[in-house]
Amino acid sequence: MGHYALMCIKFIFSVVDMENTIPSITSNRLKLREFEKADSHYMFINWASDAECSKYTEMTVADSENYCEAVIDLWKSYYDKGLFMWAICLKESNEPIGMIGFGLSENSEICLAVGKKYNNHGYATEALSAVLQFGIKNLRVKHFWGYHFTENIGSGKVMQKAGMIHIRSDTKLNKFFNKEMPVEIYEYPAK
């Protein structure tokens, strides 16, 4: 992953069915679960206060745990509108090490971030793979496609390891830098 602190990926997908619940997803080493207000501490120290993540998720760098709590409250206010936002937790500790989420609509984005000290352990790939499978099996998503900023090489590796296929290069406005930047676009067809 080089010098990038966090892995942040966005995806666009189309949905044929949706539910308004936030079920937990379990993989070999991870539990993806709904955020709780108490998670604001771990969100702040593990990834949200890191500027490296903000430049790829285009979220504001958190300046306090209170800010993180407000973000969690905002996410929770959209759960009944089809927003899925999970805390990525190690099974043994239940401490959030990152986040992954998406909203159900025809032009919805998934954002994935894993804290710096948890990079290079395969957690981002494991979380992404679990969410892709959840979308296909439980929500009947027909097709995923997504992008990452070209300079964030680690995100491309995560997408490839999760089974996504590179289809083209393009540009997108990065709100963090307020300029057009190159992106790599991938797809993941449901089988």
CATH code of 149's domain? 3.40.630.30
Query: What are the phi and psi torsion angles at 131 (to 5°)?
Result: -70, -40
Q: 21 exposed, middle or buried (CB, 10 Å; 0-12, 13-18, 19+)?
A: exposed
More confident residue, 82 or 69: 69
Q: What is the mean pLDDT of residues 162-182?
A: 88
Q: What is the mean pLDDT of residues 162-184?
A: 89
Q: How confident is the model at residue 47 (pLDDT cuts 50, 70, 90)?
A: very high
Spell out the residues 6+ positions from residue 9 whose beta carbon is closer than 8 angstroms to its own: 56, 110, 111, 112, 124, 128, 146, 147, 148, 155, 158, 159
Identify whether 4 is part of a domain: no
Q: Tokens representing 108?
A: 């919805």
Identify whether 1 is part of a domain: no
* Mean pLDDT (the chain, rounded): 83
Number of domains in the chain: 1
pLDDT score of 21: 56
More confident residue, 166 or 146: 166
C-beta separation of 113 from 98 below 8 A: yes
Q: Is the pLDDT of residue 147 over 90?
A: no
pLDDT score of 141: 72
Identify whether 85 is part of a domain: yes
Domain housing 52: 10-189
Q: 178 exposed, middle or buried (CB, 10 Å; 0-12, 13-18, 19+)?
A: exposed
| pLDDT single digits (tens) 27-45 | 999 999 999 989 999 999 9
Helix (H, G, I), strand (E, B) or coil at 186: strand
What 8-state DSSP symbol labels residue 17? -
Identify whether 5 is part of a domain: no
Identify whether 62 is part of a domain: yes
Spell out the residues 6+ positions from residue 135 whose beta carbon is closer than 8 angstroms to its own: 13, 15, 102, 141, 144
**By mean pLDDT, which of 20-24, 63-67, 86-90, 91-95 is the weakest?**
20-24
More confident residue, 67 or 186: 67
